[in-house]
Amino acid sequence: MKTIVITGCTSGFGLETSRRLLAQGHQLIGIARGGKARWMELLGPEASATGRALAYDADLAEAKTVEDAARKILAENPTVDVLINNAGIGLMGTAEDQDPEELRRQFEINFFSAVRLTQIFLPALRKSRGRIISVSSICGIATFPFYGAYCSSKYALESYMEALRHDLAGSGVQVGLIEPGTFRTEFAGRNFWLGKRSRDPSSPHFARTQAFEGFVTRKRLSAPDPDWVVRTMVNWVNQPKIPVRLLIGWDAKFLGFLKKLLPTQLLFDLTQKGFRAMTRS
Ligand SMILES: NC(=O)c1ccc[n+]([C@@H]2O[C@H](COP(=O)([O-])OP(=O)(O)OC[C@H]3O[C@@H](n4cnc5c(N)ncnc54)[C@H](OP(=O)(O)O)[C@@H]3O)[C@@H](O)[C@H]2O)c1
């Protein structure tokens, strides 16, 4: 049995991964808004009846609540084997339209909360020779129009975690990045939204941004079931070694292949053309 701390466990990849890990006999510690009461209800009676699911309340956009939750977890559960930095939000819109405060929130949740949790749990992970699994995205290795805020937060996460893997070489702690393409979760609904300036009709990008929003909604409705990502997260908890990074989903694998194959300028031009066609209003 491993003790696993997980963020973003109240929906999508994180909720289903938690259910499957509990069914395998692991102990799960969720960091979630709404704490235990909300998580137990979401997990359902079977998972909560195991008695191996604990939850600590924190808003990942609020540094203090994250640090308080992490320290409380360690005080009450000194052994931690796995940290899964899974929570994330997606702020959409053109780079010109990004409001700095909204961008800061994007980075707090997708990047700084993962850094904070990583640093607080590392001493325990060193002792257990554990691992850190961070959920990035295809957007952590490829940049798209309208995705500047989200991509930059995932690029930051990628660089930090890759550097950490180098820094921790020989320590027994493994660090890996999961990079999904598009999958059908709650992400498109609650946690993926257009920033306020993007919704302002006076923005020079307003018409294309509206078309982009329609395109994203259609794309997400037809996106595949998240099972592939969930299976990978569960495997990464159990398998002896984890890779530096892994693209998951045919769209992500195809883009990763193009990135390796094509000159940067050509890939840029093709991306530009594709998005122009998709967002023609
Ligand atoms: N779905 C995709 O197509 C896709 C593709 C590539 C990468 N990803 C990445 O996969 C990860 C999981 O996303 P998902 O698809 O499973 O989306 P999701 O269903 O929207 O889940 C996001 C999770 O993050 C949590 N979260 C968001 N803001 C938070 C905050 N301020 N404090 C605490 N928790 C917060 C949410 O909690 P609440 O329930 O409280 O909102 C939820 O549990 C994210 O890092 C995302 O960037 C997703």
Asked if residue 195 belongs to a domain, the reply is no
- Mean pLDDT in residue range 114-133: 98
What's the CATH number where 260 sits?
Answer: 3.40.50.720
In a domain, 160, yes or no: yes
Which candidate in 56, 150, 155, 160 is catalytic? Answer: 150
Question: What average pLDDT does the segment 224-246 reach?
Answer: 97
Query: What is the reported pLDDT for 220?
Result: 78
185 Cβ below 6 A of ligand 1: yes
The total of structural domains in the chain comes to 1
Report which of 186, 188, 248 is spatially closest to residue 9, judged by C-alpha positions. Answer: 186
Q: Is residue 262 part of a domain?
A: yes
Task: Give me ligand 1 centre to Cα 156, in Å.
Answer: 17
Q: Which domain holds residue 74?
A: 3-88+108-184+225-278
CA distance 217 to 188: 7
Q: How confident is the model at residue 281 (pLDDT cuts 50, 70, 90)?
A: low
- Tally Cβ neighbours within 10 Å of residue 78: 12
Our answer to whether residue 56 is catalytic in this structure is no
Does residue 243 form part of some domain?
yes
pLDDT number for residue 222: 86
Is residue 54, in this structure, part of any structural domain at all?
yes
Flag whether 194 is in a domain: no
* Mean pLDDT, the chain, whole residue set: 95
Tell whether 267 is covered by a domain.
yes
Q: What are the residues facing 57 on neighbouring strands?
A: 32
The pLDDT tens digits for 37-92 are 999 999 999 888 889 999 999 999 999 999 999 999 999 999 999 999 999 999 99
Q: Indicate the pTM of the whole model.
A: 0.97
For residues 137-150, average pLDDT: 97
Question: CA 124, CA 119: separation in Å to the nearest integer?
Answer: 10
Q: Considering the domain boundaries, does residue 200 fall inside one?
A: no
Which stretches does DSSP call E strand in the chain?
3-7, 27-32, 53-57, 82-85, 90-92, 131-135, 174-180, 192-194, 245-248
Cβ(68) – ligand 1 distance below 6 Å: no
Show the 3-state SS of 79-135: CCCEEEECCCCEEEECCCCCCHHHHHHHHHHHHHHHHHHHHHHHHHHHHHCCEEEEE
